[in-house]
Structure 1
Amino acid sequence: MKILVTGGGTGGHIYPALAFVNYVKSVEPDAEFMYVGAKRGLENKIVPKQGIPFETIEIQGFKRSFSPANLKTVHLFIKSVFTAKKILKDFQPDVVIGTGGYVSGAVVYAAAKMKIPTIVHEQNSVPGITNKFLSKYVTRVATSFSGVESYFPKEKVTLVGNPRAQEVVTVERSPILSNYQLDPNKKTVLIFGGSQGALKINTAFVEAMADFATKDYQVLYASGERYYPAVSEKSSQLQALNISVQPYIHDMAEVMVNSTLLVGRAGATSIAEFTALGLPAILIPSPYVTNDHQTKNAQSLVNVGAVEMIADAELTGEKLVAVVDSIMNDETKQKAMAQASKKEGIPDAAKRLYNMVKEII
């Protein structure tokens, strides 16, 4: 089997694709892969390290307001479709899977026009422009949230979940928290604002740090590189043994498995991970994403009792501590949220997507 995967721009498009590739390799070692990304996308830093053949095309996104730059975008899209067709002819995949981002638009569109079986995978509760456009041409549409099917031709849609979840559930509990100078046997709140950090979450955490230092539970905080010096200095001044501040957590899956409560943004990949594990969470949706899709992601879990949500505009240190305490100090609530989270998780997502591939080739 030869599979071409394309997607990029953000980790939310890249990591599900890589998780799917890793799963297929585990069940079909002879499968061949090609990953196509954008020349300036984050995938250039991530995918080559995975040992997957990697090609790039030049493309950019549309401006939402009228702009002369959109003329260049149209030109690049047409040019990128021709480039994609050449890559497809050379690799001759049995199936092409797009996980989102502008690059997947050109590649999946080209594949569909060449009559190659195609799938788009939508991670969010509100689909992006690219996947809505592609849904008219592809063979199948894979979704991660129920309810998203209303945006697509319903006969093409199957709920499969996010393949990243299947990687996380294979991770076992361990003493990993000791690597962060914390007690592996103590209840732990994991707080992070994404790979780059988030200013509002950092500000609230700094305000809350003195209160957190008095708690029976411990806190592991990932600030992001740019905010680390200031947050780390404040932490050092407090000398709190139950707080660990890190610029970035590289072994996030293992840390998550050993945590009691997660606090962070409402990105699709994070949601797939913590629901697969059955973790309760406090979500602070980013207000800077298209169509406010993080709020919609979070609300779907609020509705079933799996998470608490704090609007970014309402986030303060006092509010953060109060909501964390309401969960960490209430064992019954904590367990109920964990059970609701587990019910929403789809731990076999990569397998479901793989089965979809086998159905169409």
Structure 2
Amino acid sequence: MKVIVTGGGTGGHIYPALALVKEIKRFAPHSECLYIGTKKGLESDIVPRAGIPFKTITISGFKRKISVHNVKTVWKFIRGTRKARKLIEEFGADIVIGTGGYVAGPVVYAASKMGVPTIIHEQNSVPGLTNKFLSRFVDKVAVSFKESSTYFPSDKVSYTGNPRASEVSGEKRENPLGDIGLKEEKKTVVIVGGSRGARPINEAFLEALPAVGSKKWQYLYVTGSVHYDKVIEEVKKAGNPENVVIKPFIHDMPAVLSYADLMVTRAGATTLAEITALGLPSILIPSPYVTNNHQEKNARALSENGAAILRTEKELDAKILLKDIDEVLSNEETWKSMNRSSLKLAAPRAAEHIYHLMEELMTPQ
């Protein structure tokens, strides 16, 4: 079996694709996989590091208003489709799977026009332009949130969850907390705003620092590389409480989250897949700067089911942040209820479900 996977731009599109490749290899060890991305996207670094053959095309996204940029994008799409067709033919693909991002557009579109079976996976509760466009041409649409089903042709949709959950929910690894300066026996709050950080979360936590040192819990504060130096300066001014560890980035976040008790974070789809797979209670502060405000809609899928506390950027401050953390960690019944609710929303077999969709499409009728 020869499989092409495509998707890129952000980790939210890339990591589910990598999880799917891993599952394909588990079910079909002799299968061959090729990843098609762009040179400028994060995938150009992440995918080769994962040891997956990688090819590129050139493409950019559409603006939501009429512009010269969109005329250039149409031309890039046409050229990208031609190159994608060539790569599909040379590889001899049996199936093509897109996980979102602009690069998936020409690759999946070319495959559909060539009669190659196609699947797209949508991570968010509100789909992006690329997947909305592709849904008219593909054979199957796999979704992470049931709420997004209404945006696609109903006869094509399958609720699978996010493949990233399949990796996170595996065998528990050795406790990494001691290696990063935390105590294994203490309740742990992980605060993170993504790889580039989130200024409002940083500001609320810095404001809370004077009160944090007296708390029973410990805090792993992942600032994002952009904000790290400034945050370290502020932490030093506050006396650097001994129950706070500051890091710019954590490479193996799932391992850390396996031993955490609460997470404070944005509401990206991949992050939510990770925390629900682990049953981890969370305080979610959605980014308001994303397409169609989809992070808030992602977060509501958890908060309305009792798995998370949702706070908008406008209402977040130090007092509210500390109150929410205390409310979850000081009440065992509250924590257990959120834990159970989170696990109910998990999709630990998401990648396996997508693999079975692949088998269904490739089986002669």
Normalised to the residue count of structure 1, the TM-score between the two structures is: 0.98
Query: Structure 2 CA distance, aligned partners of 1:266 and 1:34?
Result: 30
Q: How much has 1:239 moved relative to structure 2?
A: 3.2
Q: How much has 1:35 moved relative to structure 2?
A: 0.3
| Residues 129-188 of structure 1, C-alpha deviations (whole Å, 9 max, x = no match) | 111111110010000011211111101110011111010111415331111211011110
Query: Structure 1 CA distance, aligned partners of 2:221 and 2:41?
Result: 27
Q: How much has 1:66 moved relative to structure 2?
A: 2.0
Counterpart secondary structure, 2:355 = helix
Residue in structure 2 matched with residue 104 of structure 1 by the alignment: 104
Establish whether residue 175 from structure 1 lines up as the match of residue 175 from structure 2: yes
Deviates more, 1:227-236 or 1:285-294: 227-236
Counterpart secondary structure, 1:235 = helix
| Residues 93-135 of structure 1, C-alpha deviations (whole Å, 9 max, x = no match) | 1110000011101000000000000000000001111111111
Does the Cα contact within 8 Å between 2:97 and 2:108 map onto a contact in 1? yes
Query: Structure 1 CA distance, aligned partners of 2:152 and 2:7?
Result: 19
Query: Structure 1 CA distance, aligned partners of 2:57 and 2:226?
Result: 30
Residue in structure 2 matched with residue 114 of structure 1 by the alignment: 114
Query: Structure 1 CA distance, aligned partners of 2:206 and 2:8?
Result: 33
Residue in structure 2 matched with residue 255 of structure 1 by the alignment: 256
The Cα RMSD (Å) is 1.0
Q: How much has 1:228 moved relative to structure 2?
A: 0.9
Residue in structure 2 matched with residue 29 of structure 1 by the alignment: 29
Residue in structure 2 matched with residue 125 of structure 1 by the alignment: 125
Residue in structure 2 matched with residue 63 of structure 1 by the alignment: 63
| Residues 1-46 of structure 1, C-alpha deviations (whole Å, 9 max, x = no match) | 1100000011000000001101211222111000000231111111
Residue in structure 2 matched with residue 347 of structure 1 by the alignment: 348
Deviates more, 1:166-175 or 1:124-133: 166-175
Does the Cα contact within 8 Å between 2:175 and 2:255 map onto a contact in 1? no
Deviates more, 1:254-263 or 1:173-182: 173-182
Query: Structure 1 CA distance, aligned partners of 2:215 and 2:256?
Result: 20
Query: Structure 2 CA distance, aligned partners of 1:327 and 1:340?
Result: 13
Residue in structure 1 matched with residue 51 of structure 2 by the alignment: 51
| Residues 33-92 of structure 1, C-alpha deviations (whole Å, 9 max, x = no match) | 000002311111111111111111010011112211111001100111001000001001
Query: Structure 2 CA distance, aligned partners of 1:262 and 1:171?
Result: 20
Query: Structure 2 CA distance, aligned partners of 1:281 and 1:205?
Result: 15
Does the Cα contact within 8 Å between 1:171 and 1:257 map onto a contact in 2? no
Does the Cα contact within 8 Å between 2:175 and 2:256 map onto a contact in 1? no
Query: Structure 1 CA distance, aligned partners of 2:329 and 2:36?
Result: 44
Counterpart secondary structure, 1:97 = strand
Residue in structure 1 matched with residue 246 of structure 2 by the alignment: 245
Residue in structure 1 matched with residue 225 of structure 2 by the alignment: 225
Query: Structure 1 CA distance, aligned partners of 2:18 and 2:317?
Result: 36
For 1:87-166, list aligned pairs within 5 A. 87-166=87-166
Query: Structure 2 CA distance, aligned partners of 1:22 and 1:334?
Result: 32
Query: Structure 2 CA distance, aligned partners of 1:155 and 1:279?
Result: 33
Residue in structure 2 matched with residue 277 of structure 1 by the alignment: 278
Residue in structure 1 matched with residue 318 of structure 2 by the alignment: 317
Residue in structure 2 matched with residue 360 of structure 1 by the alignment: 361
Query: Structure 2 CA distance, aligned partners of 1:78 and 1:272?
Result: 34
Q: How much has 1:317 moved relative to structure 2?
A: 1.5
Deviates more, 1:225-234 or 1:28-37: 225-234
Q: How much has 1:286 moved relative to structure 2?
A: 0.3
Does the Cα contact within 8 Å between 1:171 and 1:254 map onto a contact in 2? no
Query: Structure 1 CA distance, aligned partners of 2:147 and 2:287?
Result: 21
Query: Structure 2 CA distance, aligned partners of 1:285 and 1:161?
Result: 20
Does the Cα contact within 8 Å between 1:166 and 1:347 map onto a contact in 2? yes
Residue in structure 2 matched with residue 9 of structure 1 by the alignment: 9
Q: Which runs of 5+ in 1 are unaligned?
A: none
Amino acid at match of 2:298: N
Report the CA distance shift for 1:101/1:341 in structure 2 as closer, same or farther (over 3 A).
same
Aligned residues: 361
Counterpart secondary structure, 1:225 = coil
Deviates more, 1:310-319 or 1:333-342: 310-319
| Residues 223-250 of structure 1, C-alpha deviations (whole Å, 9 max, x = no match) | 0112111212333342312110101011
Amino acid at match of 1:16: P
Q: Which runs of 5+ in 2 are unaligned?
A: none
Percent identity, aligned pairs only, is 51
Counterpart secondary structure, 1:312 = coil
Does the Cα contact within 8 Å between 1:171 and 1:253 map onto a contact in 2? no
Residue in structure 1 matched with residue 294 of structure 2 by the alignment: 293
Query: Structure 2 CA distance, aligned partners of 1:213 and 1:169?
Result: 32
